[in-house]
Each structure stands twice: as C-alpha cells, then as structure tokens.
Amino acid sequence: MTGFIGQALLYIVPFLLVLTFIVTIHELGHFLVARAFGVKIDRFSVGFGKTIVSWTDRRDTEWRLAWLPLGGYVKFSGDLDASSVPDQAGLAELRQRVIAENGAGAERDYFHFKPIWQRALIVAAGPAANFLLAVVLFTVLFSVVGEQIVAPRVARVAPGTPAAEAGFRSGDLIVAVNGQPVREGAEVTRRVIMSAGDPLRFTVDRAGQTVNLTATPQRRLEQDELAGQVRIARIGLEMSPLPQDFTYRRLNPLEASAKGMDAIGDTVGTTATYIGRIFTGKESGDLLNGPLGIAKAAGGVTRQAVQANPDPAFIAANLALTFLQFAAIVSIGIGIVNLLPIPVLDGGHLLFYAYEAVARRPVPAQVQEVGYRVGLALLAGLMLFATWNDLQKLSLFKFLGGLA
C-alpha cells in the first residue's frame, strides 16, 4: 500500500502541478487581454469543483481556488452556451437582457459585443500565453544552465541496420542531413525519427574527408524510460562525442530568449511534420501521448532528478531545472492543441470569428451546434487514441492477458 501511494505521488502529483500551472497561465492570457479591453468577467477559477477559498476584486470578478487541480477557467459575463459564440438570435436576447438589467450601453462591456478583432485577440491570448511561458522558462534555463552543444559523433554502428548498409563507420562526424547543416546529436535524432521510410542523405566528416551516405530509417520497438514501449524510427547509430565535440557557453538573457524561441519553433515544426505524416499514412501516431503518458513522463523526470545525486540541495535544484524544461515543453503542446481548428478549442473560436468577419454575421446556431458536437467527437477521439497509445506503451494489455 505504501509503495502504491509512493508511485501515485511520484506520477500524479507532478503531473497535476504542471498541468494546473500551465492551464492557469493559459487562462490568465485570456483574462489579461479581456480586462485590457474592458470585458466584464464573472469568475477566474484555479481548479474545478468545490471552492476552497474565494474573494471578489473591485471589478466584481470572483477569484476562486477549487479542490480539483486539473487546470482552471475564465467565465466572461453573458456566456450563453458551451461554445461561447452565440448566433444573432442569442446576441439579441443577451443585449435585451443586459440593457434591461443594467441600462443602455452596459452591453458594451460584454465579450460578445466587442469588435471581432478584440474577441479574436482575447481568444488567441490563451495559446500565446503558453508560448510566452515557454519562452520565459527556456530563457531561465539557458541563462542559468547555459548552452551545451554535443556534436553528432558516431561511436558504434549496429550490424544489419540501415546505417551499416549505408557505410557508416565508428568515428564519423555527421555535419549535414539532406543538405542542411547539423550541430548536435539531438538534431540528427529528430530528423531520423521524423523520416521513417524516407531516405536521408548524410554528409559526414571522416578523418577530414567529406563522405556522402544514404540511409532509410526503419521503425523498431524500444523501451523508453519515460515513455514506455514505443515504435520509433532508427538507422542503427550509437553516438558518443569525443572531448573536442563538446561546446559550452553561458547565454545572456537576450541570447537565451532567442534560443528559447528557436526551441519553440523547432517543437512546433516537428509537431506539424509528425501530424502531417500521420494524415499521409507515414506515421502510426505511436508517439502521441495522452494524460497517462504525460503523467508517466512527469514521474520519470522526477525520478531521474532525485536519483542523479542524493544531496538534498542538488535534488531541489535539479528538480526545479528539470521541471522548468518539462513545463516548457508541455506548455508548447497545450498551445498547439488549443490552436487546432476544432470548435470546442480556441482555434475553433477563431475559425468562427473568421467566418463572422467575412459574412458580417455570426455562424448560425445550427451550424455551431453541429460543429460543437463534431469538435467534441474529434477531441474525444484524439484523447482516446492518445490514451490507447499510453496503455500500449505501459504494456497493460500484455499484463492483463497473462491473468487467469
């Protein structure tokens, strides 16, 4: 029982802390831009469910801390439905009610009567806050830890693999992939993972001589310490740098911020490439993670940080830096997901506003209802698919299959 509680604390608590922190920042983005435009806001809640503590500010906004730490939400005055995009009839009804209760002109303080560009900025502010958070966290990381570049030096070539067939040798230094220069091993690994079944052209430095090699990544089943069992593309290289392959420098805040934005661009680009390959049938989606996978990763980074050094001060510092990086990556993911053009997400609202800007009227209620239901189905399907991946990575079905 004690072991179970320990595992629950190791995996669930870090996951909930990171999720609540990131979602709160997301909602704070909506809140701050809405308040800047004078929008009347009923509630800002951190967590869901029963209220632990609450207070009301001078603008009559209730600030609430709830007992279920699964994120949070902002409630604008006058929200009529779950999609928060009422049609013409809904707007007319809301306008009439607001004027009757508060007098003529009061409706101008309500979100739905703000100009389209203001509403769009308020909606986009949530994902923008996630990306901004990631920039801030990466800036702190690169300022404190600095930048260490580890050149992609080949240490061993596994026999019978695409790398062996291509002619790679121990000691080769990879300098370019498909004609694009690479500086570190992580870049090579990322390109390989995103190219299953597609030939890659490698330019290597072999004892001062330039050699061109071609290898096609192939998927294979691996056990990852953080993600569990994953089917991932490899070519069969084990990379290990020589002393001269290490480059380290401490970045000033401006350089660290630029490096953070580069990291976000790389993550967004890689995600877009992977999703595109799923739709073209080149990837199965094995690397998509749901809540279970994220929780397992949160527990994994916690365990690694604790095991790195038993000194309490080192553990605290390592945990802080590790979770800064983990939170930055998860924040980027939440920002990307919220921009998907699904009606229940911020991207869906932006899609509706784009229609309204062109048609000069809101999307009809019937269309919104259908879009909302389809969006829920798509989102539920995506979550089920990601959770299925999580369960397979955790080998749960093999475990259950062995029970009698």
**What is the SS3 assignment for 149-173?**
EECCEEEEECCCCHHHHHCCCCCCE
Per-residue confidence (pLDDT) for residue 404, from 0 to 100: 37
Q: Which residues are catalytic?
A: 27
Non-local (6+) Cβ contacts of 75 within 8 A are 41, 42, 43, 44, 45
pTM score > 0.85 for this model? no
Per-residue confidence (pLDDT) for residue 25, from 0 to 100: 94
Per-residue confidence (pLDDT) for residue 66, from 0 to 100: 92
Contact between residue 338 and residue 131 where contact means Cβ atoms under 8 Å apart: no
As a whole number of angstroms, the distance between CA 73 and CA 30 comes to 9
**Phi/psi at 216 (nearest 5 deg)?**
-110, 115
> What tokens does 249 get?
């420098």
Per-residue confidence (pLDDT) for residue 142, from 0 to 100: 85
> What tokens does 213 get?
């090699």
Per-residue confidence (pLDDT) for residue 244, from 0 to 100: 81
As a whole number of angstroms, the distance between CA 401 and CA 134 comes to 41
Q: Which domains does the chain have, with CATH numbers?
A: 1-17+114-146+251-404 (no CATH), 148-249 (2.30.42.10)
Per-residue confidence (pLDDT) for residue 2, from 0 to 100: 47
Buried b (16+ CB within 10 A) or exposed e, 181-219: ebebbebbbbbbbbbbeeebebbbbeeeeeeebebbbeb
Question: For residue 217, which amino acid is it?
Answer: P
Maximum CA extent, the chain: 82
Mean pLDDT, contiguous 10-residue spans, the chain (404 residues): 51 77 93 94 91 92 89 81 59 74 77 90 95 92 80 90 92 92 87 88 92 90 61 85 79 87 83 76 63 52 53 63 79 88 87 90 78 71 57 44 38
Per-residue confidence (pLDDT) for residue 111, from 0 to 100: 85
Nearest Cα to Cα of residue 391 among 271, 288, 299:
288
Per-residue confidence (pLDDT) for residue 400, from 0 to 100: 36
As a whole number of angstroms, the distance between CA 18 and CA 5 comes to 19
Per-residue confidence (pLDDT) for residue 1, from 0 to 100: 46
> What tokens does 192 get?
């390989």
- Residues listed for the chain: 404
Non-local (6+) Cβ contacts of 189 within 8 A are none
